[in-house]
């Protein structure tokens, strides 16, 4: 079982949903964990059964309403659900994870946009997390930057808010490009309660592939095949 922790205060729901669908169509069993501040995934996926803590959507499972990762793990144990290949967590609450959970994860990913409000809230989250990590080695982070506009957005602007002296970065950041089509598709998917990938731009799909390659043991051919399968399914 691989555990990937995505953190940073920004709307990363579409990114994680697309990744989960691709992983699931690569013949993997995938769980997406909603530990975002506003529990946004129940709205993104249009929960048909809001009373269920774990529900299926677009070929993978989504878990929400858990106070901590430990409570989720206990629930999965009670339900005899132990065979996920990948668990992706959107963590915006410092109390959702114990300090050791960060180091136990197979990958930690800091996701950031360029809006000032999100950057300042992310800096506050980092302050809180740093207090938890004070007695141990802090995790190293991959980086993902959302809504990147070439020649208009500078990664140094983001890192200035995160105080990079306290952060250990892994590799080069993956930049998810901004385009109007992305936001139009986001709205259509949310209102229809579905997850369509095919209309995404080539640049966005290329960045999705690069991110999965950076985090997983998959080769490029496998990721591309899973992407094609995910594009064919409109659910």
pTM score = 0.93
> What is the pLDDT of the chain when averaged over all its residues?
89
Which span out of 111-115, 180-184, 198-202, 222-226 was modeled with the highest average pLDDT?
Answer: 222-226
CA distance 187 to 135: 43
CA distance 90 to 98: 15
Q: Using alpha carbons, select from 113, 115, 123 the residue that is nearest to residue 167.
A: 123
Q: Tell me the CATH number at 62.
A: 3.40.50.300
Q: Are 24 and 30 in contact (CB under 8 A)?
A: yes
- pLDDT of 12 above 60: yes
The per-residue pLDDT for range 56-66, each reduced to its tens digit, is 999 999 999 99
Q: Which domain holds residue 129?
A: 2-232
Number of domains in the chain: 1
Listed in sequence order, the residues at least 6 apart from 162 whose beta carbon sits closer than 8 Å to its beta carbon are: 110, 112, 122, 123, 126
């Amino acid at each position: 079982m691989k555990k990937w922790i995505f953190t940073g205060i920004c709307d990363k729901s579409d990114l994680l949903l697309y990744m989960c669908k691709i992983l699931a169509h690569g013949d993997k069993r995938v769980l997406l964990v909603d530990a975002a501040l506003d529990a946004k995934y129940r709205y993104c996926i249009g929960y048909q059964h809001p009373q269920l803590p774990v529900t299926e959507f677009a070929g993978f499972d989504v878990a929400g309403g858990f106070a901590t990762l430990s409570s989720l793990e206990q629930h999965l144990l009670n339900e005899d659900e132990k065979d996920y290949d990948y668990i992706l967590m959107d963590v915006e609450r410092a109390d959702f994870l114990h300090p050791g959970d960060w180091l136990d994860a197979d990958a930690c990913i800091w996701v950031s946009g360029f809006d000032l409000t999100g950057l300042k809230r992310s800096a506050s989250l980092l302050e809180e997390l740093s207090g938890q990590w004070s007695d141990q080695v802090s995790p190293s982070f991959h980086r993902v930057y959302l809504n990147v506009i070439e020649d208009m957005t500078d990664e140094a602007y983001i890192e200035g808010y995160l105080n990079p002296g306290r952060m250990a970065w892994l590799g080069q950041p993956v930049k998810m490009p901004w385009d109007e089509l992305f936001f139009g598709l986001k709205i259509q998917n949310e209102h229809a309660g579905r997850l369509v990938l095919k209309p995404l731009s080539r640049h966005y799909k290329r960045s999705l592939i690069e991110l999965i390659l950076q985090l997983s043991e998959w080769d490029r051919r496998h990721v591309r095949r899973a992407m094609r399968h995910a594009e064919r399914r409109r659910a």
